[in-house]
Structure 1
Amino acid sequence: MPGDPMSDEKTVTAAVIIIGNEILSGRTQDTNLNYIAKYLGTKGVSVKAAWVIPDLHEVVVNTVNQARENFDYVLTTGGIGPTHDDITAECIAKAFDVELVVDDQIASRIRQRPAPEHVMESRLRMARVPKGASLIENSTGGPQGFSMENVHVMAGIPRVMQAMIGNIPFQGGPVVHSCSVTAYMGESEIADELTTLQKDHPAVDIGSYPFSRNNRYGTSLVIRGTDIEELNLVLNSICATITAKEETPEDIERP
């Protein structure tokens, strides 16, 4: 695991791996990444990479191994249901070079819900976890998530994933705050000033995003950082720059 998540001297990082052919085909639209990134931000954990990958053993194993060696936390979604293409548990076991075993606690809970034999057999696939995994508490009664070292495996169903992630004990760094302002002017009109501001304030991240609204073009400016006082200072400087160019700062959001 790369570094101590308790350290205040570094950014605590995370990678998200979204597993599922249905996402790549366009049949299903992923909403989990957005939720995860925002949630982790409140915990002082910064998402630095994300993959969307197919239900292929080699791809899942290789991606998980790459991610867990380079990020403090790895979160996966999808592939832990009862069907043949739900292969995430066995892939995590292979990535950690451990056996895939049946967890008695999960199996007992599944058997409490009566079902025909062939249905029960499929459901019991969800009781398989890598040997040594710790279970992620899940109040929804859906698929069972689990953790292996810094890898946390969750369901792809948004409401189930959200129930799971709330039970993972993240140890993050300083919380990253953000503020923003928009103006009906092109990025190039304030590019020089933004470059200077970024050099003067290396601890914050200034993002510039063009948009089109009501047949007008403009720029949305988002400032992110851990120091609220500095964020306000940078935001005020940007607003002053916009005003000096005879435009009006709009939609101002303070940290």
Structure 2
Amino acid sequence: MTEPKKVTACLIIIGNEILSGRTQDANLAYLAKWLNEQCGIQLTETRVIPDIEDTIVNTVNECRARFDYVFTTGGIGPTHDDITAESIAKAFGVQWELHPEAHEILKEYYGPEGLTSARARMACTPRGAKLVDNPISKAPGFQMENVFVLAGIPLIMQAMLESLKHRLTGGAPVRSRSVLLHLAESLIAANLRDMQARNPTADIGSYPFYRQGKGGTSIVIRSTDDDLNSRLAQEVYKMAFELGGDPQFEESV
């Protein structure tokens, strides 16, 4: 059987406030789960970068060449430090200019007198951009080829995602099975290494924990093949049982 094509994505989180620790990012986990479950797209890399034009330009250009899709969050608001749209225009070598459709959307939302120069700035995109609808605060995101530029505010970012779902083409979603063991990682490391070598299409992760005074390890098996996940989970269970690890299956995802 042919292995399903792996469709990859990268998230670029843009903002000095994220790097300073003042704001905690809430978009990464949501985007990774949404892309996998809704579209069969795997988020395989994330970068957090400052509001510096050259950094944005270089990062976007590198990532759009490496991944099927690139998503950016942050930096498309009305203030002086919101430079994402301008920077992406430079990454694509096009003008940053007023987008007529975006301008009409904001004019209708704010009214002619309420559309200040700062707010009108949110209607500027790289030339040739395709708008991404924003049903909450109306200021749209945009798409340039395989790059999708979204808001940093989580509620707005999530709404934008739903509006562009039909533009994304993915593969099979990744599923997982987990087994909880009351064993130290060092006792099962060799077994897991052998299991991973025999099953290269699965991702077998080992995560230690300490709960209610007892330590152990959670083994998470991830792949696009539910049957493979189940078989490997059974193998882990049997191994742990023979080692006295009191294994327990956890809920499948």
Shorter-normalised TM-score: what interval?
A: over 0.9
- 8 A Cα contact 2:4 2:172, kept in partner: no
Alpha carbons of structure 1 residues 237 and 125: separation in structure 2 relative to 1, 3 Å: same
**2:137 counterpart residue number:** 141
What is the 5 A alignment of 1:22-41? 22-41=17-36
Shift of 1:115: 7.9
What is the 5 A alignment of 1:96-111? 96-111=92-107
Q: Hey, which of these two has a bigger chunk of helix by percent?
A: 2
Instruction: Quote the Cα distance in structure 2 between the aligned partners of 1:243 and 1:67.
Output: 44
**2:171 counterpart residue number:** 173
The TM-score, its normalising length taken from structure 2, stands at 0.93
Shift of 1:216: 2.2
**Alpha-carbon displacement from aligned partner over 1:171-196 (angstroms, at most 9, x marks no partner):** 11121111112122111111111112
SS in 1 for 2:43: strand
Shift of 1:253: 2.2
**1:83 counterpart residue number:** 79
- 8 A Cα contact 2:12 2:49, kept in partner: yes
1:195 to 193, 196, 204: 193
**Alpha-carbon displacement from aligned partner over 1:86-117 (angstroms, at most 9, x marks no partner):** 00000010000000111122212222314867
What is the 5 A alignment of 1:1-255? 10-42=5-37, 43-112=39-108, 113-114=110-111, 120-168=116-164, 169-250=167-248, 252-255=250-253
Unaligned runs of 5+ in 1: 1-6
- 8 A Cα contact 1:111 1:120, kept in partner: no
- 8 A Cα contact 1:8 1:174, kept in partner: no
Shift of 1:10: 3.0
Instruction: Quote the Cα distance in structure 1 between the aligned partners of 2:201 and 2:34.
Output: 22
Aligned length: 248
Q: Percent identity?
A: 46
Question: Which deviates more from structure 2 when the two are superposed, residues 154-163 or residues 238-247?
Answer: 238-247
Instruction: Quote the Cα distance in structure 1 between the aligned partners of 2:196 and 2:103.
Output: 55
SS in 1 for 2:163: coil
SS in 2 for 1:166: helix
SS in 2 for 1:190: helix
SS in 2 for 1:156: coil
SS in 2 for 1:125: helix
**Alpha-carbon displacement from aligned partner over 1:109-135 (angstroms, at most 9, x marks no partner):** 222314867x71110110000000000
**Could you tell me which amino acid in structure 2 is paired with residue 171 of structure 1?**
T
Instruction: Quote the Cα distance in structure 2 between the aligned partners of 1:36 and 1:254.
Output: 20
Instruction: Quote the Cα distance in structure 2 between the aligned partners of 1:124 and 1:9.
Output: 44
- 8 A Cα contact 1:232 1:254, kept in partner: no
Shift of 1:8: 6.8
- 8 A Cα contact 2:106 2:138, kept in partner: no
Alpha carbons of structure 1 residues 67 and 122: separation in structure 2 relative to 1, 3 Å: same
The TM-score, its normalising length taken from structure 1, stands at 0.92
SS in 2 for 1:51: strand
SS in 2 for 1:107: helix
